Amino acid sequence: MDAGAVADLVTRSREGDERAWADLVHRYLGMVHAICRGYRLSGADAADVNQVVWLRLVEHLHRIRTPDAVGGWIAATARNECLRVLRASDRSLAVDERGGLDGPDTGIDAGLLVYERDRALLGAFARLDHRCQRVLRLLMAEPRPSDVEIAAALDLPVGAVRSAQARCLDELRRGLA
């Protein structure tokens, strides 16, 4: 979906077009999920962030000056709300300083995976540091967010997105070898 199509969905949603809103939701729901999971939020915390992101977007629809950039706005809003939830529950230090060798806590249920290869991949993913997990989570979102949206979600310059992805995929590959 190109930027013009996204802008059109924003314009039509603003007028109350439910079909356009549904398309906008389907375009970005996976990204919001990836961001929440990248910050290790689950259950009610993650569901509340999801809910507030969409409620905010509805109230924001009339004020958006660059409708084609709505994805970046959604990504930044989701990230900020995740960070605030973590701060409020005093978990932010745990997230950034622990370094991330707590394998099972990826939000992915290994019990649902049948193949050994998939389990190995999940194991290698779980051994990555949290930052790389956040980077790769965004690559795993369906549909895949744009580099600009990923940059907003990670609070990185757009030019740094591809190198961060390459580095994290390298680490994952080493973990699989």
Partner 1 sequence: MTHTSAPLPTDDALVDELRRVRALADPVPEAWLRAALASLGWQDIDAEPAALAYDSMSGRDPRLGGGSTGPQVVRELRYAAGAAGLSLEVDVNSDRLRVVGDISPAAAVEVVAVWPEGQVATTADDRGAFRLDDLPRRPVCFVVAGESPVKTGWILS
| Contact residues: partner 1, CB under 8 A | 13, 16, 18, 21-22, 25, 29-30, 32-33, 37, 44, 47-52, 54-59, 61, 81, 84-85, 87-90, 107-110, 112-113, 116-118, 120-122, 125, 136-137, 139-140, 142, 165-166, 169, 172-173, 176-177
Three-state DSSP class for residue 119: helix
**Beta-carbon contacts of residue 66 (< 8 Å; ≥ 6 apart):** none
> Least distance in Å: CB of 64 to partner 1?
13
> Least distance in Å: CB of 26 to partner 1?
8
Please give the C-alpha separations between residue 166 and each of 21, 135, 139, in angstroms, as whole numbers.
Answer: 34, 10, 11
Task: Return d(Cα 146, Cα 162) in angstroms, integer.
Answer: 11
Of 82 and 151, nearer to partner 1 (C-beta) is 82
**Beta-carbon contacts of residue 115 (< 8 Å; ≥ 6 apart):** none
Of 2 and 90, nearer to partner 1 (C-beta) is 90
